[in-house]
Structure 1
Amino acid sequence: MDNGIQALEIELMPNELDLYKQIPFSKKGVELTDEEIIKGSEASVLMVDSLLKRQAIPEVRLQYFINPLYNIHSKRSHKDIFEMNGTHGEDIFQRPHFWTYLYYWIHGPDLPKKAKQEFITLVSKEDYISGSDMPVFRNFVRAETRKYGLEPKEASEEFYKLALECGIVEHLARMIRDYVRAIK
């Protein structure tokens, strides 16, 4: 399947790499200092501006943020939710909650590299992914989630993003997400 798979990291320019180092991309439960937030906020705005100007962010990753269809938890896009909460324009990019989207824009789905590569290989074997292929994907994503000890709720969203990046249509990508999310 030649579908323009984009599950790779984007290359940062030297100035973007400097900005990247100033943004405290943190995992859940890690408290940021006021200084880290201020420094990261300024760097984030400049980073997004630079990435957008040079059109470095793959379209599917932008759509994940701005298209309501890609936000399974709501009828609003991720961007709409920021706006509904009173944050608009480039102020969105200053928010620490936005940085998870920026991290995704740069790095792609947050999954083990080998799992991503094997998923891409699985997709590449087919000319077109259809519902009849879903049992193979179900078995794969569930096995990978268990093999790497991934938390199903978080891994489900990352496999959803990966499926979208591999050109799998949204309703089938959603099925892949649900297969992982159902793991007990």
Structure 2
Amino acid sequence: MEKYHIALTEDEAALLAQIDLRDQLPPGTDGHAVYQSNRKPIVALLRSLTERGAIPEHRIRYFTDPDYKTGQTKGSRQELFERHNEGDEVYEHPNFKQYLRYFLFGPELSDSAILEFEKEISKPEWISGSDGIDLGKKAIKIARAHHIQKHKAADNFFKLALDMGISFSQADTIQGIVRRSSLK
């Protein structure tokens, strides 16, 4: 949904046009060549976005803050990359593309799933207490209706809640409810 996309300058749009953001490349595509051609424009795009403060703080924290990550492995997503990469290599790594997509475009949910979830919330700043539990249950219902897998649903409804202005603690509640659900 375009309302969650960040606005790009002309130069940033030109850099983005040079980047192949796909995780799965078609058969016969030289993955190493894609990696090599992505390296410089990704770093340049991130540098530009960072310099002008274009990436929302909660999206940056999703990558840099360990509290925004669930699972057994300790540390932030950035720290996990830094275990085997240093400096710009973190952002050049092919697995970083999923975070770049989030920085640029927000959660990876269909427009209709986003609209259904948005309909449940009139004032995000008023969400508290048991509202997070109820919204988690509604996210599960939406995920089932749209055939969204559990892990993807939990992570993306968490991201959507943050983008909508819901507090971290309530977004985390939503994510936990979906993660513990019986979704496949």
Same structural fold, with TM-score higher than 0.5 when normalized by the shorter chain: yes
Contact 1:41 1:96 in 2 (8 A): no
Q: Does 1:140 align with 2:177?
A: no
Q: TM-score, with normalisation over the residues of structure 2? A: 0.85
Residue in 2 that maps onto 1:78:
77
- CA deviation profile, 1:36-86 (whole Å, cap 9, x unmatched): 11011111011101111111101110111111100112331111111122x
| C-alpha spacing 1:135/1:55, structure 2 compared with 1 (3 Å) | closer
Contact 1:45 1:93 in 2 (8 A): yes
Q: Which of 86, 108, 114 is 1:88 aligned to?
A: 86
| C-alpha spacing 1:32/1:132, structure 2 compared with 1 (3 Å) | farther
Residue in 1 that maps onto 2:150:
152
- Specify every segment of 5 or more residues in structure 1 that has no aligned partner in the other structure, as ranges: 1-6
| C-alpha spacing 1:138/1:51, structure 2 compared with 1 (3 Å) | same
- Calculate the aligned-residue CA RMSD, in Å: 2.1
Q: TM-score, with normalisation over the residues of structure 1? A: 0.85
Contact 1:69 1:75 in 2 (8 A): no
RCO higher in structure (CA 8 A, sep ≥6): 1
Identity of aligned residues (%): 32
| C-alpha spacing 1:94/1:137, structure 2 compared with 1 (3 Å) | same
State the alpha-carbon separation in 2 of the partners of residues 72 and 41 from structure 1.
28
- Choose 135-144 or 50-59, whichever is displaced more: 135-144
What secondary structure is seen at the aligned counterpart in 2 of 1:41?
helix
Q: Which of 38, 51, 59 is 1:53 aligned to?
A: 51
- Specify every segment of 5 or more residues in structure 2 that has no aligned partner in the other structure, as ranges: none
Q: CA deviation at 1:122?
A: 2.5
Where do 4+ consecutive residues of structure 1 move more than 4 Å? 28-32
State the alpha-carbon separation in 2 of the partners of residues 28 and 57 from structure 1.
25
Residue in 1 that maps onto 2:14:
18
Residue in 2 that maps onto 1:130:
128
Residue in 2 that maps onto 1:3:
none
| C-alpha spacing 1:129/1:32, structure 2 compared with 1 (3 Å) | farther
Number of residues paired by the alignment? 177
